[in-house]
Amino acid sequence: KAGVTQTPRYLIKTRGQQVTLSCSPISGHRSVSWYQQTPGQGLQFLFEYFSETQRNKGNFPGRFSGRQFSNSRSEMNVSTLELGDSALYLCASSLALLGTRGAYEQYFGPGTRLTVT
């Protein structure tokens, strides 16, 4: 089975611009989560989607948004980029099922390295 794929792998943007990152989950996985990794703050949860619905959201400003499509692929968008948004953005997919309780493994993609200048 193919793993989680993320595109693009590297991106350079200017302050004030917006950016869209894409994530394709493992086939059959309907849950997709996004995380931001920075040297100062470590790995932080952004949001999680299941069947096109956002189920959970981290403590990030409204400039960070996401969506999930019917084929489970997900995108995240950051508007009005700031220098502090420079980070590795990781996407993870999981078999987590609707209405079930328990921790399913999350499988991570290689990440998108975003640099804001």
Partner 1 sequence: AQSVTQLDSHVSVSEGTPVLLRCNYSSSYSPSLFWYVQHPNKGLQLLLKYTSAATLVKGINGFEAEFKKSETSFHLTKPSAHMSDAAEYFCVVSDRWGYKLSFGAGTTVTVRA
List interacting residues with partner 1 (CB under 8 A).
Answer: 4, 31, 33, 35, 42-45, 48, 50, 55-56, 58, 90, 92, 94, 96, 101-111
User: Cβ closer to partner 1: 45 or 75?
Assistant: 45
Does a cis peptide bond (omega within 30 degrees of 0) precede residue 61? no
Smallest distance from partner 1 to CB 51, Å: 13
Extended beta strands in 2-72, E state? 5-7, 10-13, 19-24, 31-38, 42-50, 53-57, 64-68
Compute the least distance from the CB of residue 44 to partner 1, in Å.
Answer: 8
C-beta of 35: minimal distance to partner 1 in Å? 8
- Say if strands 53-57 and 42-50 run parallel, antiparallel, or are unpaired: antiparallel
